[in-house]
């Protein structure tokens, strides 16, 4: 996975749940076997769980990265994703995580986005997908997709707002000092 | 350390150096003993090096987090920082990393910032520091300090621009899709 795809949303959710425990949410991470994940840019992250020991999820987040290419024709991973879809109320992804959702058929007839370099691939995987370029994330109710890498931060703050209140999302925004000054 | 303090800048620098190898830069991570770092919000990250095996640095970045409190009266860590200062041309930090720089005397008589909750602490540690609230980062030439957590992304993009060109910083901004939409 791409490092910030996962750690951006992680920071948002973890800051929120640590500072507002009374909201009643918790966040965790997992990999298929529970083994350390060597990320796209070589950083190694040790998740908390394997898929087998992960708790029941209310929100699922699938990061992207070049490693998703191999998942597009991995029947086990795609089948596992379809099973998640059956019992997780809110399925979300960041960046090229969308292409894996598309390959699993989860984005059929739905609006979605992905990394700017993979927008065409979305429709090649499933021509019924309504691609939405130029948005940081696309909220389609029970599925939310985000654009590339840092867009996961925007999506995560949006999710905090959806699960609680916009005021809470603002508090988390201020807590992580997300008052961005990109080069212009 | 706080997860995004480190992984935000990591993503910026790693995306840059991976996509523009001809720029001649590389980025790496290290911990004191080279052991995995259990971050502020429980994520475990395995660095590439120990301080002993880390390569000679052109830019040093010290993340923050509640773990910095113990560093403020750790004479070994502060002395090691002063030694880094002697041979690293550009010393930078994110969030409460500034308080450690302050305790080591590196911010004496300089403008600086830190996490919004630690601004007062900066002057308690060294009353000569000119605290600059309301900025994502403060560039004082050979030392750059950033505000809390996500401000490290802004600082890192600024550093890419300083080391190369503003156009390159814009390319990295676009590559990681840093077109932020914070809740307002």
Mean pLDDT of B5-28: 98
Q: What is the pLDDT of residues B122-133, one digit of tens each?
A: 999 999 999 999
Q: What is the mean pLDDT of residues B56-62?
A: 97
Q: Which among A11, A14, A157 is the nearest to B182, CB-wise?
A: A157
Q: In Å, how far are A175, B39, B76, B120 from B131, measured between CA atoms?
A: 19, 27, 26, 8
ipTM of the complex: 0.97
pLDDT at residue A110, as a whole number: 98
Q: What is the pLDDT of residues A80-112, one digit of tens each?
A: 999 999 999 999 999 999 999 999 999 999 999
In the block, residue with structure tokens 């676009």: B174
Confidence band of B51 (pLDDT split at 50, 70, 90): very high
Contacts of B4 (CB under 8 A, 6+ apart): A7, A8, A10, A11, A176, B149, B150, B152, B153
Q: Calculate how close chain B gets to A25, using CA atoms only, in Å.
A: 14
CB-CB neighbors (< 8 A) of A137 in chain B = 181
Domain boundaries along the sequence of chain A: 3-175
pLDDT (0 to 100) of residue B181:
94
A184: closest chain B residue by CA: B170
CATH 1.10.760.10 fits A3-175, yes or no: no
- The model's pTM is 0.98
Average pLDDT over residues B38-67: 97
B175 neighbourhood in chain A, CB within 8 Å: 148-149
Distances (CA, A) of A91 to A46, A58, A139, A157: 22, 9, 10, 15
Which chain A residue has its CA at the smallest distance from B38's CA?
A46
Q: Which two tokens stand for residue B93?
A: 């930090």
Q: What is the mean pLDDT of residues B58-78?
A: 97
pLDDT of residue A170: 98
């Amino acid at each position: 996975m791409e490092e910030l795809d996962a750690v951006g949303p992680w920071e948002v959710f973890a800051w929120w749940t640590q500072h507002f425990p009374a909201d009643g949410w918790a966040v965790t991470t997992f990999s298929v076997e529970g083994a350390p994940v060597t990320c796209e840019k070589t950083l190694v992250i040790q998740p908390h769980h394997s898929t087998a020991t992960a708790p029941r999820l209310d929100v699922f987040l699938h990061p992207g990265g070049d490693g998703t290419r191999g998942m597009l024709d991995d029947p086990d991973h795609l089948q596992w994703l379809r099973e998640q879809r059956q019992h997780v109320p809110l399925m979300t992804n960041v960046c090229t995580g969308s292409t894996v959702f598309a390959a699993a058929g989860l984005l059929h007839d739905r609006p979605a986005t992905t990394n700017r370099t993979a927008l065409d691939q979305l429709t090649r995987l499933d021509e019924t997908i309504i691609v939405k370029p130029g948005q940081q994330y696309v909220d389609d109710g029970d599925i939310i997709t985000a654009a590339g890498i840092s867009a996961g931060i925007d999506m995560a703050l949006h999710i905090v707002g959806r699960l609680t209140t916009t005021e809470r999302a603002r508090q988390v925004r201020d807590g992580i000092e997300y008052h961005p000054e990109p080069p212009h």
